[in-house]
């Protein structure tokens, strides 16, 4: 059966799942990917999760600094995505592209670049300038002036590549049989304090920010709509 891109098999079905359990969503992504065939339409799932720490394949237990039992306890879920530990919670937009990369005609490195570009364009829509940091997937902002348009000084200081920066979006992907799942999270207006219990993405002392803390007051649904539009456009074949 042909897997050449056609109008029917490269369209993206966008689904807003609302607030959903992380582990159940992870299982659903796996099931979707395992069951899909050459003609299965690609999908983009948008959601938020109740508070949860997720550990990637490269995750190390020592990056969980503090997670007390009791009322403040947040579950730690092991996943098969790339990367280290991160936090998901209400007020953060999570996007899971479920794509057939072979059908779309590009490889993983370009896929990651396209996701980051979609995040940068989404932030730009709300007046915020996002930046890439070499070797550290995700999108960062200048803490002193998140609206400045100038490029970051390169090369970054190898002793402190995140000096003056805060992370606003994280990436963690999985590719199996050329098909993607897991994805990205973009912090909109959330409780950021759980990030202090971990080394975010494995980096000690890395500041984590959201749009609200940058002075941008916008609803998660509005951000999700812009992000979905950008992802569909930037991830096109």
Residue 68, CA distances (Å) to 74, 194, 216 in order: 8, 11, 32
Residue 15, CA distances (Å) to 24, 44, 98, 234 in order: 16, 6, 11, 17
Burial class (CB in 10 A: 0-12, 13-18, 19+), 176: exposed
Q: How many other CB atoms sit within 10 Å of the CB of residue 175? A: 17
From CA 128, how far away is CA 216, in angstroms rounded? 8
From CA 224, how far away is CA 167, in angstroms rounded? 18
Q: In this structure, what token pair is assigned to residue 186?
A: 């973009």
Tell me the catalytic residues: 201
**What residues are paired with 97 via a beta bridge?**
44
């Amino acid at each position: 059966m042909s897997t050449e891109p056609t109008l029917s098999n490269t369209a993206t079905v966008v689904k807003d799942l609302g607030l959903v359990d992380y582990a159940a969503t992870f299982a659903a992504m796996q099931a979707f990917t395992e069951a899909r065939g050459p003609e299965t339409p690609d999908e983009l799932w948008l959601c938020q999760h109740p508070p949860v720490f997720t550990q990637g394949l490269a995750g190390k237990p020592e990056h969980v600094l503090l997670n007390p039992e009791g009322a403040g306890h947040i579950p730690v879920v092991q996943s098969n995505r790339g990367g280290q530990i991160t936090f998901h919670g209400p007020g953060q937009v999570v996007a899971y592209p479920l794509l057939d990369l072979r059908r779309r005609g590009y490889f993983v490195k370009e896929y990651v670049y396209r996701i980051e570009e979609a995040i940068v364009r989404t932030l730009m829509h709300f007046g915020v300038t996002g930046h890439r940091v070499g070797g550290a997937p995700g999108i960062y902002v200048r803490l002193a002036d998140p609206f400045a348009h100038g490029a970051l000084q390169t090369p970054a200081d190898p002793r402190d590549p995140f000096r003056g920066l805060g992370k606003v979006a994280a990436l963690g992907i999985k590719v199996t049989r050329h098909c993607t799942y897991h994805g990205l999270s973009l912090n909109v207006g959330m409780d950021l304090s759980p990030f202090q219990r971990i080394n975010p993405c494995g980096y000690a002392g890395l500041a984590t920010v959201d749009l609200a803390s940058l002075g941008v007051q916008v609803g998660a649904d509005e951000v999700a709509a812009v992000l979905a539009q950008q992802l569909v456009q930037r991830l096109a074949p």
